[in-house]
Every structure is written in structure tokens, then in C-alpha cells.
Copies of this chain bind each other. A is one copy, B any other.
Amino acid sequence: MSSARNVTRFWEWGRKIICVGRNYADHAKELKNAIPKEPVLFLKPPSAYVKEGSPILVPQYSSNLHHEVELGVVIGKGGKAIPRTSAMDHVAGYALCLDMTARDIQDECKSKGLPWTLAKAFDTSCPVSEFVPKEKIPDPGNVRIWLKVNDQLRQDGSTSQMIFSIPYLISYISEIITLEEGDLILTGTPKGVSSVQEHDELLAGIEDILCMTFRVDRQ
């Protein structure tokens, strides 16, 4: 079956999306969260993937859908308890991702001690770009990611601001959850998250390496 699987189309067959919350200090602060001592992990299902050409849908139950632009790390070689020193050998490449978040629902989940599923895992909650081969981003720990809503710049950060580095995250996650080929790790968002509305146009990029656009619609 592995011959049928092409890592450049990981969203078609990859089985996990592992997201890291609060991995940029300035974003943790803007949401009034403490700086975490260890990575905050949550999951999206592969049904959350959406590609350019299809819209991001605001869930019917939310009236405050936020964009979070994030660098995604695509796993090329699975593993368990991967040492930090060899973590990058497990990376096939990258993707630009949006961690779409129903902020009103997330606030409710947080205050009630409930899982974040409704806030984070709904259909179209994970827009992703084309696959970016590893060679195109020689230093993923120092790359600019940015997002505009209707031509206004809202997020503009560098992955150098991450609290936990990509090798640290791969090692930490794989101690708990075995990584497999085609898995995607969302590495957290810099500051500037804000609400999107029906008909908004999102334009996001990794430096000038890649950009993607998504339109927002009501469900």
C-alpha cells in the first residue's frame, strides 16, 4: 500500500494532526494564558483538512471563528521516543496551515473543563497549503509566517519565536503518541489572531516561498 502513498499529498491519507497550543509567548499573552512549561497538545481529525479552492466554513454554533497561521511539519519517517538529535531525520517537509478555532466555544470548553473538540476539530478547521519539500526551508526554526485578512496584515511572526523548537516537539510528542508517515504537526501561532467573517479572504504565506488563499463561508 505504501507505493500508493505520496507524502506530498499527505492530507489524502495521513492519519493524525497533532497541534501545539501556546507555543509563541506573545500569542499566549494576547489570550491571557500562562507560558507553558511543557507543550500543550490537542488533535484535529484528518476530516478537518481543506485545500485551496474550497472554503473555510464557520461552524453554525460559533460566532467568533479565529485564524491562527502556523508552520506545519510533515512526518516522513515514523517513530516512537525519537531523540531530539535525530528528530529532523523524521521530517519530510512542511506545509503552511491554519488552525481555525471557534474561540467562543474554546472559551466555554476551557471554563467547563471540557475537551476542545468542538472548538478545534470541525470540518475545514485545518486549511493546508501544498507540500513544501524539506530542502526549501533549510532553517525551519527561523522562517517568517504571515497572514492577511482582506489585504490587511494580521499575523507576521518568525518561527524563531517558538517556545518549543521543532526537534523538541517531535521528541516530546513521540514519547506519548507514536508518529507515522503522513502525520502533521501544527507548531503554534504567533500573535495577531482575530475573527473572520463570511466572505473574508485570507491570504497567508511562508516568507516568499509559498502563499495560499482561502475564502470564508457560512456552513
Supply 5 A–B pairs (Cβ within 8 Å), ascending by A: A1-B4, A15-B47, A16-B46, A21-B115, A43-B45
Whether A123 and B177, one on each chain, are in contact in the complex, defined by CB atoms closer than 8 angstroms, is yes
Q: How far is the CA of A30 from the CA of B12 in the complex (A)?
A: 41
**A60 contact set on B, CB distance < 8 A:** 175
Residue from the list B4, B109, B122, B177 in contact with A45, Cβ < 8 A: B177
The number of residues on chain A lying at the interface, defined by a beta carbon within 8 Å of a beta carbon of chain B, is: 38
Q: Considering the complex, give the chain B residue whose CB is closest to the CB of A5.
A: B1
Q: How far is the CA of A175 from the CA of B121 in the complex (A)?
A: 12
Given contacts A109-B113, A123-B80, contact A118 B41 (CB under 8 A): yes
Most buried by B among A16, A109, A114, A121: A114
Whether A117 and B41, one on each chain, are in contact in the complex, defined by CB atoms closer than 8 angstroms, is yes
Whether, in the assembled complex, A190 has its beta carbon less than 8 Å from a beta carbon of chain B, the answer is: no
Whether, in the assembled complex, A111 has its beta carbon less than 8 Å from a beta carbon of chain B, the answer is: yes
Q: What 0/1 readout, one digit per residue, does chain A (49-65) give for beta carbons within 8 Å of chain B?
A: 00000000001100000
Q: How far is the CA of A120 from the CA of B115 in the complex (A)?
A: 10
Q: Considering the complex, give the chain B residue whose CB is closest to the CB of A43.
A: B43
